[in-house]
Amino acid sequence: MLNKLTLAQTIEGLKNKKFSHRELYADVQKNIEEKNKSLNIYLTLNNQALDQAEKLLNTPLAGAPIAIKDNYCTRDFRTTASAKVLDKFKPQFDATVIKKLKNAGGVMIGKTNMDAWAHGSSTETSDYGRTLNPRNTEHLPGGSSGGSAAAVAADLAITALGTETAGSIRQPAAWCGVVGLKPTYGRVSRYGVAAMASSTDSPGPITKTVEDAAILLNQIAGHDPLDGTSTAQTTPDFTQTLNTPVKGLKIGVIYHDITGAEFANEKLMEQLKVLENLGATVEKTTAMDPHYAIGVYTVVQRGEVSSNLARYDGVRYGNDRSYFSDEAKRRQMLGTYTLSKGYAEKYYELAQKVRTLFIEDLKKLFNTYDVLIAPTSPGFAKKIGVTEGQAMFGELEDMLVEASSVAGLPGLNVPYYRDEKTNLFLGMDIIAPMWREDLVIQVGDAFEKNTAWNSWRTQS
């Protein structure tokens, strides 16, 4: 049962010789053998993981097994982004994040399923079949990092990496009842991650605890000369605000009156009493209507997709453009349309102006509040098959995280409610100003450690 450990526990246990790499990997592999076929989490497994891990005891991550979303380029190791266009693609290099992870002693246990090209919020658009939510297999894991979130929830890895453009870390983390941290845009290098929307793509951790997210972010963050938009700021130690009192912090609750999110908001207000009891002030406030964020994100994302996916020309990456499935076709073409002559102003310029309104609106709220909190998703994980024929499924599901995404802000999903009947979870999204991951970690960690969350885990 060593696969059930958190990353912090795993590192501690390995370093103090409480168990060996062999024992740890045996438990993880056994669980993978039992569950991977039915849940469809890993697309490709690393059969050299144990050999690699055994040499890494004296590193920060000590050789812990980590699930990697399949849109990170991994040298000489199949990388598909869940798209048949890249069916046999083996990158000639490691993404910067992968390089950093390997240097820190993290071991890739396998590459996880996702929405093809990360286009979606369900993992149903994968060209390799949907992933099931391990909490309740009649439901979806969310997406696009659904495989990574499911791997963590089902203990098929100790921890995982996902990527987010607008919701793709936080929403699957919410649906699978785990922790997901979308860093500030520019905090983590995008180099070597199959590009989706370059102006918002943010690689980040999906983990069992907030502490694990801080540990992992410490290893993957930092300036990368190969990514012109990565920050030149020094990287703080993100574990510093763990176990830090939240007394005196001002928390604003936004999106509390959204139709369709009544239950999620009712339970959220109940649960935020935990933070109030710790001395934080919690009050409802009003942010710009998130419905407008759907339009902004749709235009920006489709436009950037149409440019980024133009490179898959069947010359350098394997299969040709006839291998694109529906969602990728739809998005590239809509992006081509909204950026074409005569429409760029009508759509793209307008969206980028409204994007400014969102940035300014959130900035203003942060004059009053240290962090803002809302439900990550309006409700529980949806049933399988629900995305069929819905052109705007993901955008509607991700509405509550889109404003912070287009503004580039850090956001952290922390589970706050579990439905006893369905075993499904609700997660809260804690957002802070640019570069203030320390704040979301502080608040998320305080909430997590003062609730029954850790006991929920063992019930799954």
Partner 1 sequence: MKNSVTPQIVAHIAKLANIPVTQVEQEKLAAGFSETLDVIDELNKLDVKNVPTAHQVTGLENVWREDTINPNTIFTQQEALANAAQTHNGFFVVSRILEEKDA
Catalytic residues: 69, 144, 168
Our finding on whether 379 is near partner 1 (CB under 8 A) is no
Query: Which one, 236 or 295, has the nearer CB to partner 1?
Result: 295
Our finding on whether 304 is near partner 1 (CB under 8 A) is no
The β-bridge relationship of strands 65-69 and 159-164 is: parallel
Please state the closest distance from residue 347 (CB atom) to partner 1, in A. Answer: 6
Our finding on whether 229 is near partner 1 (CB under 8 A) is yes
Name every residue whose Cβ is closer than 8 Å to that of residue 222 and which is 6 or more positions away in sequence: 100, 188, 189, 230, 235
Our finding on whether 92 is near partner 1 (CB under 8 A) is yes
- In the shown chain, the binding pattern of residues 179 to 218 toward partner 1, with x for contact by CB under 8 A and - for none, equals ------xx------------x-------------------
Q: Which stretch binds partner 1 (CB under 8 A): 123-131, 162-170, 245-253, 310-318?
A: 310-318
Cβ contact 398:280 at 8 Å: no
Name every residue whose Cβ is closer than 8 Å to that of residue 349 and which is 6 or more positions away in sequence: none
Query: Which one, 173 or 406, has the nearer CB to partner 1?
Result: 406
Query: Which one, 38 or 390, has the nearer CB to partner 1?
Result: 390
Our finding on whether 296 is near partner 1 (CB under 8 A) is yes
Our finding on whether 386 is near partner 1 (CB under 8 A) is no
**Of the residues 15, 30, 37, 88, which one makes contact with partner 1 according to CB under 8 A:** 88
**Of the residues 33, 320, 368, 383, which one makes contact with partner 1 according to CB under 8 A:** 320
Cβ contact 331:307 at 8 Å: no
Please state the closest distance from residue 181 (CB atom) to partner 1, in A. Answer: 18
Our finding on whether 103 is near partner 1 (CB under 8 A) is no
Cβ contact 112:78 at 8 Å: no
Q: What counts of helices (H) and strands (E) characterise the chain?
A: 16, 11
Please state the closest distance from residue 349 (CB atom) to partner 1, in A. Answer: 6
The first and second tokens of residue 187, run together, are 């905090």
- In the shown chain, the binding pattern of residues 7 to 46 toward partner 1, with x for contact by CB under 8 A and - for none, equals ----------------------------------------
Name every residue whose Cβ is closer than 8 Å to that of residue 456 and which is 6 or more positions away in sequence: 177, 415, 418, 425
Query: Which one, 283 or 349, has the nearer CB to partner 1?
Result: 349
Q: Which stretch binds partner 1 (CB under 8 A): 14-22, 387-395, 421-429, 442-450?
A: 387-395
Residue 255 Rama label (left phi>0; alpha psi -120 to 50; beta)? left
Instruction: Reduce the secondary structure of 86-127 to three states and give it as a string.
Output: HCCCCCCCCCHHHHHHHHCCCEEEEEECCCHHHCCCCCCCCC
Identify the helix (H) or strand (E) that includes residue 171: helix 170-176
Query: Which one, 72 or 347, has the nearer CB to partner 1?
Result: 347
Our finding on whether 395 is near partner 1 (CB under 8 A) is yes
Question: In the window 427-456, what residues touch partner 1 (CB under 8 A)?
Answer: 434
Residue 49 to residue 285: CA distance in whole angstroms:
48
Query: Which one, 220 or 446, has the nearer CB to partner 1?
Result: 220
Cβ contact 279:247 at 8 Å: yes
Express the helix, strand and coil content of the chain in percent, nearest 5 each. Answer: 40, 15, 45
**Of the residues 226, 278, 344, 386, which one makes contact with partner 1 according to CB under 8 A:** 226
Our finding on whether 260 is near partner 1 (CB under 8 A) is no
Applying CB under 8 A, the site for partner 1 has a residue count of 62
Please state the closest distance from residue 50 (CB atom) to partner 1, in A. Answer: 27
Residue 279 to residue 277: CA distance in whole angstroms:
5
The Cβ of residue 337 has, within 10 Å, a number of other Cβ atoms equal to: 13
Provide the 3-class DSSP secondary structure of residue 401.
helix
Query: Which one, 86 or 210, has the nearer CB to partner 1?
Result: 86
Distances (CA, A) of 192 to 75, 95, 106, 159, 275: 10, 4, 17, 20, 39
Question: In the window 322-361, what residues touch partner 1 (CB under 8 A)?
Answer: 322, 324, 326, 329-330, 332-338, 340, 347, 349-357, 359
Binding site for partner 1 (CB under 8 A): 88-90, 92-93, 185-186, 199, 225-226, 228-229, 231, 291-292, 294-296, 298-299, 306, 310, 313-322, 324, 326, 329-330, 332-338, 340, 347, 349-357, 359, 391-392, 395, 406-408, 434
